[in-house]
Amino acid sequence: MNTVEKALMHGLFVHLHHNIDQAIDFGQLEELNKKVARMWPGALLVGPHDNDDAAVFKFPEMDGLFVGKMESHCSPGVPRPYDAAATGAGGAMRDVVAMGARPFFLLDFIGTRPLEQEVLVGPCGFNGICDCGQCQVMTSGERLGHIIKGVKDMCQSMDVFVVGGGLSTSFSDIVPAIVVAVIGKLITREPLTKPAKKAGHKLIVAGTTGKDGNDTLYRAGLVEEMRPAQALFSEERQVMEASIAAFKTGKIKACSDLGAAGIGAAVSESARFGELGAEVDLSRVPVNAQDISPEEVLICETQARMLFHVEPRDEEEVLQVIREAGVPAEVIGEITAEAKEVFKYDGEIIAEIPNEPTPEMMEELRS
């Protein structure tokens, strides 16, 4: 494994963000949901054990399907509380959109230190002492104001109600809890699930990739400075509307938003969950930075992006619809029959990710 392969594979197969089942027994939840389904048959279509972007369910005796997602952006709240809250809200909304729905309602929970206590906000926030000269000392209450404004501004941009939430000021940890839950209504005929459906389907990325959200690269030692993902407001709205327009063509076969570990994770998980593979040309990805590296294109977590799977005959129609909504979009690769994901840049292989790492690989990833 080269360094970027190890970084991406650690995220995919070891890090709890992509492997919650290592900490939570989903079997218990599945058993519970099966029992409840005896009273409400057909109410839960996509649940927590389905490895998808969000849950899909219906309310008994109501028409239509609904989508729900809960997202946390706690650690980014130390250096950037405003952006952490906004990207947490925006990310949960994108997960809802990725299933084929429009988000409508948001609830949030914030846990922080007592309001009068001082906190350090900025790049040195985790250290407790500023060495960079860019940090700001403020009260926990002032930081809370930044968090609330981040959630509010994203909801305002996306026309999503804030319908409630919770607050605790008894947290002692340096990291605040920033958690949002979003509910939307399905606008497609069926949920647009994440797993790839067929070899030969083309992969379209909508939205541009930047150098922010480089957490995975930073942890791997591939960049010197951690740059948390920046909140994008008008871009999130444009990508949502472009996605909905694409859905209305009826040509989208699978869909996923680009969150943690970016294109690398979105493509790899989609292909793996569909028991297929993928080949991607990273040089075709729309970018918004001149000096961006192939590794950054692969893994950075820039917001306001979506991944679509389409039949080859439909790619031009879907591209046109997305671009007409003002969003850059390109075909970056296709689904293959091989059980691995190959990411190239100008013909050179940047990373090759197997669907099932060997025991020796897993031992190296955990070391």
pLDDT digits (tens, 9 = 90+) for 339-364: 999 999 999 999 999 999 999 999 99
Q: Identify which of 202, 246, 288 has the alpha carbon closest to the alpha carbon of residue 97.
A: 246
pLDDT in tens, 28-59: 999 999 999 999 999 999 998 888 999 999 99
Q: What is the pTM of this model?
A: 0.95
Contacts of 60 (CB under 8 A, 6+ apart): 40, 43
Would strands 136-139 and 118-121 be described as parallel, antiparallel, or unpaired? antiparallel
Give the SS3 label for residue 84.
Answer: helix
Q: How far is CA 70 from CA 29, 95, 249, 365, in A?
A: 16, 9, 28, 28
pLDDT of residue 69: 97
What are the residue ranges of helices labelled H in 159-276? 215-219, 234-248, 262-273
DSSP secondary structure code for residue 230 in this structure = P
- Map out the domains of the chain with their CATH numbers: 53-186 (3.30.1330.10), 202-366 (3.90.650.10)
Give CA 142 to chain center in angstroms. Answer: 28
pLDDT of residue 205: 98
Which of 57-61, 139-143, 239-243 bottoms out in mean pLDDT, i.e. has the lowest? 57-61
Confidence of residue 279 (pLDDT cuts 50, 70, 90): very high
Q: Sheet containing 306-310: give its strands across.
A: 252-257, 306-310, 202-206, 329-336, 277-281, 340-345, 348-354
CA 132 – CA 289 distance, rounded (Å): 24
